[in-house]
A and B are shown apart, each in its own frame.
Chain A
Amino acid sequence: MEMEAAMGLMRRMPPKHTETALSALLSLLPHHSSDLLSQVDQPLQVLRDIESGKEFILCEYNRDADSYRSPWSNKYHPLLEDGALPSVELRKLEVEANDIFAIYRDQYYEGGISSVYMWEDDNEGFVGCFLIKKDGSKTGQGRRGYLQEGAWDAIHVIEVGPEEEGTAHYRLTSTVMLSLTTDNESSGTFSLSGSIRRQMDMNLSVAEGHLCNMGRMIEEMESKLRNSLDQVYFGKTKEMVCTLRPPSEVVMRLPDS
């Protein structure tokens, strides 16, 4: 009942205030904190790896106690002696995934930060979490410089089932959170923010390897999500504006005074 109400509020509060709304809920419902943290997606946080100097993304999947494991050095920050680590074999796949996903990220995002985490799950398969964070503002990595503020956070969690007769089951759950603001003298502040989550299930041959399959699914999903946000979600808010004030009138110029 309380969780239902909490999730109801999250569907209504402005997405750009997600962090404030979540911490408000956590303080009102401390007994539901683990449910809230796992069900409410929030903007991704970043730390810098002390060994490589590269930034990595924090999430529930690379957290142990109050430390977060870097995919670059495989070390916990702050240092944690007995922090959970993936098996040697899975760590190999994780390293490869991080390298390749960084190239993918660069081609689509022209910047940004990415991290991939993998861990064994209970039913002989494994789970991979692919994260991307991009600051597209003009003071960040926005190449075209249109955005006063612009954030994109993508979370892809992909569960890979055990291999059977050369195929495996993949379940991808993806969330994108974004906010963008343009600001100028003539048109004022224009701000869109939102979050959507979708799921995709596939049975695929593992002949080309798990990474190939996971990558393709994520690429397809990201394109779908970007398209839905752009066409459907932003489109619906535009429709609303045009319902409130239909754009039929021609701009009437006032005589120069």
Chain B
Amino acid sequence: MADVEEAELSEKQKKEIAKWFFLNSPAGEIQYVAKDVKAILDNEELYNESASESFPLYNKSHMICLEMPGRMGDVLITSFGELNENEFLDPRTAQVATVDHIKQVCTKVRPAMDEELPSSYIEEFRCALDAELLKYVGEAYPKGVCSVYCTNGKDVEGPGFDFELAVVISAARLSPQNFCNGSWRSVWNIEFKDDDQMLELRGKLQVGAHYFEEGNVQLDAKHECRDSTVFQSPDDCAITIASIIRHHETEYLASLEASYSNLPDTTFKDLRRKLPVTRTQFPWHNTLQFSLTRDITKELGIGK
């Protein structure tokens, strides 16, 4: 049982608690959580502080997608594209979006400066992969958005050096009117190793879903995988990487489906069976028999 008699909390502790609620919000629900946290804190200043510290973290970890003004397309809010707290690079359009984290909107865009972009050598690999990925994501995720970032060695001018790209795929489906929200997030790190002419891939996949009509049920699934391939031309690298990602993500979806289909008869059974061991409903009308058995076992001293 929780300890009720706690000493008065400091402002700092209250802020930490508020942040805990913000950061544990399911996909697409932080604004609703914010409203409730505001009502509970009942302190504008404290609320503003905790919100301004939490929203950027939430937006980046959920890799939310915001529309850029002027029909520039969408920008993903990720730590890979973060130039400073409110500016995020969209590598595809080479635009930098200014973001209002709490309102979760993009307020303006500007063209990226040369030093914010990778070298033309890296861009060849990045663009080729982005194009392949767009095809794959377009086919596999109805609401998917993807982006390819250079996370290491962006100024490498030609062969002879290592560099790293990161692929982000983010798909969210928000349907609060049907009491259901969910998101799929993939991050793939690809190390281009010049020395041994290899590509090392590390994928982190995360899927969440929340259903809350007269209840609160949540899925939280995570998976990590690795793969590798040979260093080739930018176009060939792009095709191979996209097909490796497709392969692993398709397999992962299949394993999620398998986990679901195992539920009724195996997994769930270890919590509670659908039917009793006897396979008939419990004989409540005849419980006297149990009392008799109990008395007998007691008398004979054979009880457990």
| Contacting pair B37 A192 (CB below 8 A) | no
Count: A-B pairs, CB below 8 Å? 288
Stretch at the interface among B69-77, B159-167, B203-211: B203-211
Closest CB of chain A to B145's CB: distance in Å? 12
| Contacting pair A99 B291 (CB below 8 A) | yes
**Residues in A whose Cβ lies below 8 Å from that of B2:** 19, 22-23, 26, 37, 42
Which B residues between 248 and 304 are near A, CB-CB below 8 angstroms? 249-260, 262-264, 266-278, 281-282, 284-285, 287, 290-291, 294
Stretch at the interface among A79-87, A114-122, A162-170, A211-219: A211-219
**Residues in A whose Cβ lies below 8 Å from that of B253:** 241, 245, 247
Closest CB of chain B to A140's CB: distance in Å? 9
The residue of chain B having its C-beta at the shortest distance from the C-beta of A195 within the complex is: B216
Interface residue A109 (Cβ < 8 Å from any Cβ of B):
yes
Can you list 16 contacts pairing A with B, beta carbon distance less than 8 Å?
A5-B37, A14-B26, A19-B2, A99-B294, A106-B277, A141-B270, A146-B262, A188-B221, A188-B224, A194-B215, A227-B274, A236-B180, A237-B219, A240-B180, A241-B182, A244-B143
Interface residue A202 (Cβ < 8 Å from any Cβ of B):
no
Interface residue A197 (Cβ < 8 Å from any Cβ of B):
yes
Interface residue A48 (Cβ < 8 Å from any Cβ of B):
no
| Contacting pair B1 A14 (CB below 8 A) | no
CA–CA, A240 and B260, complex, Å: 12
Which A residues between 24 and 54 are near B, CB-CB below 8 angstroms? 24-30, 33, 37, 42, 45
| Contacting pair B256 A241 (CB below 8 A) | yes
Interface residue A124 (Cβ < 8 Å from any Cβ of B):
no
| Contacting pair B140 A252 (CB below 8 A) | no
**Residues in B whose Cβ lies below 8 Å from that of A219:** 281-282, 284
Interface residue B24 (Cβ < 8 Å from any Cβ of A):
yes
CB within 8 A of B20: which of A24, A134, A189? A24
Closest CB of chain B to A239's CB: distance in Å? 8
The residue of chain B having its C-beta at the shortest distance from the C-beta of A236 within the complex is: B211
CB within 8 A of A249: which of B140, B260, B270? B140
The residue of chain A having its C-beta at the shortest distance from the C-beta of B183 within the complex is: A244
Taken residue by residue from 147 to 160, chain A's Cβ proximity to chain B (1 for < 8 Å, 0 otherwise) reads as 10011100000000
CA–CA, A232 and B46, complex, Å: 39
Closest CB of chain B to A224's CB: distance in Å? 12
| Contacting pair A252 B216 (CB below 8 A) | no
Closest CB of chain A to B138's CB: distance in Å? 12
| Contacting pair B273 A109 (CB below 8 A) | yes
Interface residue B193 (Cβ < 8 Å from any Cβ of A):
no
Could you list which residues of chain A lie within 8 angstroms of chain B, going by C-beta atoms? 1-2, 4-6, 8-17, 19-30, 33, 37, 42, 45, 58, 63, 96, 99-100, 103-104, 106-110, 134, 136-137, 141-147, 150-152, 178, 180, 182, 186-198, 208, 211-212, 215-216, 219, 222-223, 226-227, 229-230, 233-234, 236-247, 249, 251-254, 257
Closest CB of chain B to A226's CB: distance in Å? 6
CA–CA, A223 and B251, complex, Å: 34
Main SS of chain B's interface residues?
mixed
**Residues in A whose Cβ lies below 8 Å from that of B52:** none
| Contacting pair B40 A29 (CB below 8 A) | yes
| Contacting pair B218 A14 (CB below 8 A) | yes
CA–CA, A189 and B222, complex, Å: 5
CA–CA, A20 and B16, complex, Å: 13
CA–CA, A196 and B144, complex, Å: 31
| Contacting pair A254 B247 (CB below 8 A) | yes
CB within 8 A of B4: which of A5, A33, A242, A254? A33
CA–CA, A136 and B4, complex, Å: 30
Contact (A244, B33) CB under 8 Å given A182-B259, A182-B267, A190-B259:
no
| Contacting pair A240 B209 (CB below 8 A) | yes
Closest CB of chain B to A101's CB: distance in Å? 10
CA–CA, A108 and B130, complex, Å: 53
Taken residue by residue from 18 to 41, chain B's Cβ proximity to chain A (1 for < 8 Å, 0 otherwise) reads as 001100111001001101110111
Interface residue B220 (Cβ < 8 Å from any Cβ of A):
yes
Additional 7 contacts, C-beta under 8 A, given A16-B218, A24-B20 = A17-B24, A21-B21, A150-B271, A182-B262, A197-B214, A226-B272, A240-B180
| Contacting pair A147 B267 (CB below 8 A) | yes
| Contacting pair B26 A187 (CB below 8 A) | no
| Contacting pair B219 A191 (CB below 8 A) | yes
**Residues in A whose Cβ lies below 8 Å from that of B172:** 244
**Residues in A whose Cβ lies below 8 Å from that of B93:** none
